[in-house]
């Protein structure tokens, strides 16, 4: 039986995966730890909501993790509302 080869340094390791190439902006909301505040416009059912971003665009996001109502500001990361801001 043969012994497994020893790794001796960084040159022997596979390269670390990178998240560059698919992001269009300098900071990717999906890849970073950034949560973006958005306003809930209306609930759509199936734990989804239509929200308005700070840029004025509308997007569909999941609100399964928060108790959100129209008019609420929620923090969204990767299309998932993760917290509701208190008024």
Structural domain containing residue 44: 35-87
Burial of 82 (0-12, 13-18, 19+ CB in 10 A): middle
Is residue 74 in a domain?
yes
Backbone dihedral angles phi then psi of residue 11, each to the nearest 5 degrees: -65, -25
pLDDT value of position 84: 96
- pLDDT computed for residue 37 by the predictor: 95
**12 φ/ψ angles, rounded to the nearest 5 degrees:** -85, -10
65: in domain: yes
Mean pLDDT calculated for residue range 69-78? 95
Q: Quick check: is 19 in a domain? A: no
Q: CATH no. for residue 85?
A: 2.30.30.140
Q: How many domains does the chain have?
A: 1
Per-residue pLDDT tens digits for 15-67:
544 444 455 556 555 566 788 999 999 999 999 999 999 999 999 999 999 99
Query: Residue 69 pLDDT more than 50?
Result: yes
Judged against a pLDDT cut of 80, whether residue 85 lies above it is answered with yes
CA distance 56 to 42: 15
pLDDT at position 15: 53
């Amino acid at each position: 039986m043969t012994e497994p080869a020893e790794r001796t340094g960084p040159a022997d390791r596979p390269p670390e995966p990178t998240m560059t190439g698919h992001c269009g902006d300098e900071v990717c909301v999906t890849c970073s730890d950034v949560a973006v505040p958005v306003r809930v416009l209306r609930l759509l059912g199936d734990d989804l909501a239509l929200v308005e971003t700070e840029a004025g665009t509308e997007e569909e996001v999941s609100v399964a993790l928060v108790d959100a109502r129209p008019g609420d500001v929620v923090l969204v990361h990767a299309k998932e509302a993760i917290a509701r801001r208190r008024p």
